[in-house]
Chains A and B, each alone.
Chain A
Amino acid sequence: MTKQEELQPDQKQEDQKSPPPVQPQHQEQPKVTKEETDRAKEIQELYRKLEKTRSILHTAGDVEVGQTPHEILEETRTYKLLHYQQMVSKTAKTPILVAYALINKSYVLDLQPDKSWVRSLLSQGFDVFLIDWKTPTTADKYASFDDYVNCDMDRCVDIVLKKNKVDQLTLHGYCMGASMSAMYTTLHQEKVRNLAVIAPVVDTEKDTTVIGNIAKHMDVEKMVNIVGNLPAEQLYACYSILKPFKQGVNKYFNLVQNIDNESFVGNFLRIEKWLYDTPPIAGETFKQWIADIYQKNLFVKNELKLGDEVIDLSKIKVPLLNIVADEDHLVSPQCSAPLNDMVSSVDKRLMRFHTGHVGLIASLYSQNNVLPKVGQWLKARSQ
């Protein structure tokens, strides 16, 4: 018999014999201080916000992007050429062809109505076209910059010129698309009236970003031979080490804190959607991008080759606008700025803004500070 079992019978007997204990009329409640009540409320509030964040993140994929009305002028297996609907009467004669990068998706230029780069250009009276690159498949392993620039971009330029019955257009590229626009201009200058680039990758020796650092020791030849296209997972790995805590971790704390602010949440989800909407990059193109541009710095040495043709930046004579961000952690301004020294253009301008790589194109700062100046520069050269 255990000690507990020994005690139980006696206890039962005692319970039967003795009268029930008298309950005090007013049981003393433990004192709850105001601080404790406030803390409990805070915890409850935090729990509510976490629960709301969880449910919102579950529907994050449904968030709408790229809402500015447009038509698809041409669709091939590598790109879609979009033509945006005019919002005001056209005041600029020269059309703008926006060349987006091969990294992530082009809707970052039309993320939401109040932060849309495209919409702002339309509202300033420009006729805007955009090359929306499609996701490359295994069959595109051998697609190189030569294919993208000399075939696809050239085809899009021809379509825009024909549609608008003009001889020249403004070529407007962002990030890798900016570098591609510069490549195109050196080879087909007769079709380009103005070259306006945003954060182009040019002099990679001066690049101080983490991306540039990692690219230096990447065996890209081996990667293309074994894997083919650059897998999206590899790009996620690169993104995850860019400002890993300030942006990677802190942004989720900020989301929970601002979960009741509809505008904040909408903006967060759109950026998040874009950030993880990463297609692979065609193997041969990625090889050129890393080995020729990042490792050997051939672009700035005027030794980069597209097919049989050498890209000589000094051949560029058209008006050049180079827009860079001081806080850019993907393409450092020191890497973009040398383009102005490389070209032979007389009319050239470098615009620097105190923002980041995405902030430069998809933020209220961009709408209020960057786009009015860009529009003014373009308008003066588009009549």
Chain B
Amino acid sequence: MTQNDNKESQPNISPDAIYNFWTNVMKLPTIGPMYAFSKDFGAYANDYVNLGKVMADLKTHNDNYWALVSAAYAKAARGTAEKAPKQLVTKEDFENYRRAAIEAFEYAFTELFASSEFSVVYGKVFSSQLDFSKALQSIAEKNFKVLNLPARGEIDEMLKDVHELRKSVREMKKEIEGLKNDQARRVAT
């Protein structure tokens, strides 16, 4: 086969033709799979961008948390060094070292955990962990839709309804019981 034959067998597709083809595909009615895919793609991209932001926040708060813990550890280690025996030879020396270490660590860490600064930082770490879970849930929920499964929000609505129903049934049962008791009392008198 010659080179000329090869050229003749290839279809003549220009870049303009390719562009026009995809433009026409994108113009298909908005119920088509391409539209749905492109729509989902955007939402997925947003979710992943959000996940990245949440993880960055979580790292910042975790760093602050560990900075406080490290400072408390350093304080406890200093306290231990000051109070513990300098030489560890006898059994009593080891026992005294243990006591001094426990005392110093207990003091330093309890002071940390009871401080308002720790409370704020812990609250932020906890909140970031929740944001992280929420970001993952959001991505998972999109997959649930693909599998035609109910999303978390929908299940929550159902649970709320079930809870309300349960409460109503309880109240009704109580009222019926009260009525029965009244009736029994009336019969007795």
Contact = CB atoms under 8 A, between A and B. Distances in A.
Interface of A: 42, 138-139, 141-143, 147, 151, 208-210, 213-214, 216-219, 222-223, 226-227, 241, 243-246, 249-250, 253
B91 A42 contact: yes
- Of B102, B113, B134, the most chain A CB neighbours within 10 A belong to B113
Given A147-B167, A213-B118, A227 B130 contact: yes
B133 interface: yes
A213 B167 contact: no
- Of A138, A217, A244, A246, the most chain B CB neighbours within 10 A belong to A217
B119 A214 contact: yes
Given A142-B160, A147-B167, A208-B114, A218 B106 contact: no
B116 A218 contact: no
B55 to A, nearest CB: 16
B97 interface: no
19 contacts: A138-B159, A142-B163, A209-B114, A213-B113, A213-B114, A213-B118, A213-B119, A217-B119, A217-B123, A219-B123, A219-B127, A222-B127, A222-B130, A223-B130, A226-B137, A241-B113, A245-B105, A245-B109, A246-B102
A245 B106 contact: yes
B102 A226 contact: no
Query: 7 closest pairs, A vs B, by CB?
Result: A217-B123, A142-B163, A245-B106, A245-B105, A210-B113, A241-B113, A219-B127
B159 A249 contact: no
Given A226-B137, A244-B106, A219 B116 contact: no
Contacts, number: 73
B110 A244 contact: yes
Interface of B: 91, 98, 102, 105-106, 109-110, 113-116, 118-120, 122-124, 126-127, 130, 133-134, 137, 156, 159-160, 162-163, 167, 170
A219 B106 CA distance: 27
Contacts of B120: 217
A383 B134 CA distance: 56
Contacts of B119: 213-214, 216-217
A138 B114 CA distance: 32
Contacts of B137: 226
Contacts of A222: 127, 130
B41 to A, nearest CB: 25
Contact of B133 (A227, A241, A253): A227
Contact of A210 (B114, B123, B127, B130): B114
B91 to A, nearest CB: 7
B102 A219 contact: no
Given A219-B127, A244-B109, A245-B105, 19 more contacts: A142-B159, A142-B160, A143-B163, A151-B167, A213-B115, A213-B118, A214-B119, A216-B123, A217-B119, A218-B123, A219-B123, A219-B130, A223-B126, A223-B130, A241-B113, A244-B106, A246-B102, A246-B106, A253-B98
B114 A243 contact: no
A147 B164 CA distance: 10
A245 B159 contact: no
Contacts of A223: 126, 130
A138 B156 CA distance: 10
A249 B76 CA distance: 15
Contacts of B159: 138-139, 141-142
Nearest to B121: A217
Contacts of A151: 167, 170
Contacts of A246: 102, 106
Contacts of A210: 110, 113-114
Nearest to A253: B98
B54 to A, nearest CB: 12
A147 B171 CA distance: 11
Nearest to B124: A217
Contacts of A209: 114
B137 to A, nearest CB: 7
Contacts of B127: 219, 222
A209 B119 CA distance: 12
A275 to B, nearest CB: 18
A207 B112 CA distance: 16
